[in-house]
Amino acid sequence: MTAPAGGAARDELHRLLAQARAGRPRAVGRLVSLVEDDDPRLPELVRALAPGSGRAHVVGLTGAPGVGKSTTTTALVTALRAEGLVVGVLAVDPSSPFTGGALLGDRVRMQEHALDRGVFIRSMASRGHLGGLAAATPAALRVLEAAGCDVVLVETVGVGQSEVEVSACADTTCVLMAPGTGDAVQVAKAGLLEVGDVFVVNKADRDGARSLVRDLRTMVSLGSPAEATREPGSPWRPPVVQTVASTGEGVGELLAAVRAHRESQQASGGWQRRRRRRAREEIEALALARVRRRFRTLTGAPLDRLAEEVGDGRLDPYTAAAALLDGAPTREGPRGRSAGGAE
C-alpha cells in the first residue's frame, strides 16, 4: 500500500480540486497528469471526486484508423458548445513500444477549441495499455466531471475488431466506419460492431457510402450480434447515421441519435445497469492491480528461481505456479527433474 500523502502534498491536492471545480483548465490538466502518473495521492483524489461523479454523459467514439474520429469529435464539440454545454474530451493516442512517447495528435487537430474555457481537451498516451484506451481513463473521467462537464467525449486510438474497452467506460458508444475500408464481410464480423449503440458512416460523400449504410442497416434489422450484449429489456436498436464531419453535415443527426439512446436507456433501466457494471469492472481492475503489486513483492526471489527451473526444462509451468501459490517448495525428483507441487 502507498504511504499517505504529507500535509503539504495533501493541501496542494485539495487546492487543485477547488480550482478544477471552479473550471480552471490548468488545475484540471494537473489533476489528470496526477492520475496518469499513478501519484500516491490518487486514492485520496478519487475519494474526494466520488460524491460528484456520474453527472456527465460519457460518449465513446471508436473505429479503425482513418475513419475520421478526431474530425467527428471536433464537430460534436462545436455542436455541443453552440448549445452552451460544457464539454470534456479525452483523446487517447498510441504510444511508442520503444520510448513510451506519443504524438498527441488531437491536441494539434482541435486548435479551434483550444482557447474556449467551456472545453477541456486532454490527450492521453495509451502507454501500452490494450483495448483502445489508457489505463487512467476512468479516473480522468471523474476529474472532468468535477470540472463541470455536461458531456465527455472519449476518443479511442485507432482500433481493430477486438479492442472494445471503450464500451465499458461510455454511456453511449459510437462506432465509426468509412467507405473504402472493407467490405460486407467486415460488417458481419464479431468484435467492434457488437459494442455499437450508434453506427456512424463518416465521409458519406465518398463512393461506397450507400452500400456500407445498406449493409449496416441489414445487419441491425436482422438482429445484429450486438443484440446478445444489450441490456435485458432494452428497446434500443442501433441507428445508422451518415456524416461528413469535415463539413458538419449529419452531425446534428448524430447528436440526436446519441441523446435518443440516453433517453431510451434511462427509461428502460439500462442506463443504471450499465453504470453499475462499469463500477464493478473498475473495482475489479483496481483490486487485481493491487494483488499483482503485492504478488510481485512477496514472490520475487521464489518466482525467479521457479522461472529458471521452467526455462531449463526441469519443471513444468503448472507445477511451478502451484508451488508459488501454495508456498510449497519443489524437490528434485528422478533424473534431476523437480517433482514437487502442491500438497
- How does pLDDT run across 292-327, given as a tens digit for each residue? 888 877 777 888 889 999 999 999 999 999 988 887
Helix ranges (H only) for the chain are: 7-21, 25-36, 42-49, 69-82, 105-109, 137-146, 166-169, 184-188, 209-221, 251-268, 270-311, 317-326
The pLDDT, as a whole number, for residue 296 is 78
| pLDDT (tens digit per residue) in 102-161 | 455 555 556 677 778 899 988 876 544 444 344 577 888 999 999 999 999 998 876 554
d(C-alpha 88, C-alpha 105), whole Å: 16
- pLDDT at 335 > cutoff 60: no
Q: What is the mean pLDDT of residues 317-338?
A: 66
Average pLDDT in the 277-283 region?
86
Q: Give the model's confidence band at 66: pLDDT under 50 very low, under 70 low, under 90 confident, else very high.
A: confident
Burial letters for 320-335: b for 16+ Cβ neighbours within 10 Å, e otherwise? bebbbeeeeebeeeee
Q: How confident is the model at residue 64 (pLDDT cuts 50, 70, 90)?
A: confident
Look at residue 94 in the predicted model and tell me its pLDDT.
57
| Reported confidence tier of residue 63, pLDDT bands at 50, 70, 90 | confident
Reported residue count of the chain is 343
Range scoring the smallest mean pLDDT among 25-29, 121-125, 160-164: 160-164
* Nearest partner of 176 among 82, 65, 256, 287, judged by Cα: 65
Residue 192 pLDDT level (bands cut at 50, 70, 90): low
Q: Which residue has the higher pLDDT, 31 or 193?
A: 31
Please provide the average confidence, as pLDDT, over all residues in the chain. 80
Q: Long-range contacts made by residues 268-272, C-beta under 8 angstroms, separation at least 24?
A: 268/231, 268/233, 268/234, 268/235, 268/236, 269/231, 269/233, 270/230, 270/231, 270/233, 270/234, 270/236, 271/171
- Spatial distance between the Cα atoms of 106 and 47, rounded to a whole number of angstroms: 30
For residues 67-93, b (16+ Cβ closer than 10 Å) or e, as one string?
A: bbbbbbbbbbbbbbeeeebbbbbbbbb
Q: Which pLDDT value is given to residue 107?
A: 52
How much is the average pLDDT of 244-251?
Answer: 96
CA distance 128 to 93: 10
Distance from C-alpha of 137 to C-alpha of 80, rounded to nearest angstrom: 22
Instruction: Check if the beta carbon of residue 116 is closer than 8 Å to that of residue 99.
Output: no
Range name among 46-55, 65-74, 200-209, 333-342 with the lowest pLDDT average: 333-342
Percent of the chain whose pLDDT exceeds 70: 76
Beta strand 240-242 with 151-155 is unpaired
pLDDT of residue 337: 41
